[in-house]
Amino acid sequence: MAGRVIAIDGPAASGKSTVARSVASAVGFLFVSSGHFYRALAWGTVVEGIPDEKLNDWVTESPLTVEDKENTISLLLDGKDATPHLSDPEVAAKVSQIATFPCMRDFVNSRLHALAEERDLVMEGRDIGSVVFPATPWKFYLDASPEERARRRARQGDEDPIAERDRLDSTRVTAPLVIPEGSIVIDTTHLSLEQVVDAVIARLGNIEPLNP
């Protein structure tokens, strides 16, 4: 890995993406949601009707491409921007199931590693500090009570089976959701966004902010 990676993991609706975006903008790193990759792939399998037994072939010739423009990552499927579809109910219902397949994880991990070759990143997900970038010295695990996480997701107005996703994410064989070794655990249940962001930034130590 050529760039630096700040890894932020945690269960669904624990605040990872909002916190990761704010930290990224504070330190001048690129924000990357690894979940968006799984969601874009899930959208592709829904749209194209790919059965589980064809996932390996499909992802090997994957129509998913990554566009890194103006400090934002866009994921294109057959050239079409997947962004408007990432929170579709069919995608939320399918994503954790397709994320159990090693072929899907290998595909996403290769794209995440390629990004880290080029850029400093704040990357959020389920296995960033444990599997994808285990050597990074900046690892955080955000958590919140299940009730608070359900409230947060409901406030966003999305139909999202977070309890079922958490169950699949924590029990799968390949790269299950765990607290990565050496990570700083932050319980965000009673904290504001600003408090969590400040707590993360305070622990970054020797990272030079590019936009102080």
Positions touching ligand CDP (CB under 6 A) are 12-13, 16-17, 33-35, 38-39, 95-96, 99, 125-128, 165, 169
CB of 178 to ligand CDP, least distance (A): 12
Query: In this complex, which beta carbon is closest to ligand CDP, that of residue 99 or of residue 200?
Result: 99
- Quick one: 178 or 191, whose CB is closer to ligand CDP? 178
* CA–CA dist 53, 73 (Å, integer): 29
Q: If 0-12 CB within 10 Å is exposed, 13-18 middle and 19+ buried, where does residue 210 land?
A: exposed
Q: Which of 24, 8, 46, 43 is nearest to 126 (CA)?
A: 8
Smallest gap from residue 95 Cβ to ligand CDP (A): 4
Beta carbon nearer to ligand CDP, 38 or 202: 38
Of the pair 39, 139, the CB lying nearest ligand CDP is at 39
Cα distance between the two ends of the chain: 24
Q: Least CB distance from residue 1 to ligand CDP, whole Å?
A: 16
Helix H or strand E encompassing 113: helix 102-118
Q: In 3-state terms, what secondary structure has residue 124? A: strand
Min. distance of Cβ 193 from ligand CDP in angstroms? 15
For ligand CDP, the closer CB: 126 or 205 = 126
Please identify the residue of the shown chain whose CB is closest to the bound ligand CDP. 35
Query: Alpha carbon of 118 to those of 113, 130, 142, 154: distances in Å?
Result: 9, 21, 26, 36
Taking the CA atoms of residue 39, residue 40, residue 43 and residue 45 in that order, the dihedral angle to the nearest 10 degrees is -100
Could you tell me the smallest distance in angstroms from the CB atom of residue 126 to ligand CDP? 4
Minimum distance from CB of 120 to ligand CDP (Å)? 19
R_g over Cα of the chain: 16
Between the alpha carbon of residue 77 and those of residues 52, 64, 80, 93, 157, the distances in Å are: 18, 5, 5, 19, 25
Of 96 and 183, the one with the shorter C-beta distance to ligand CDP is: 96
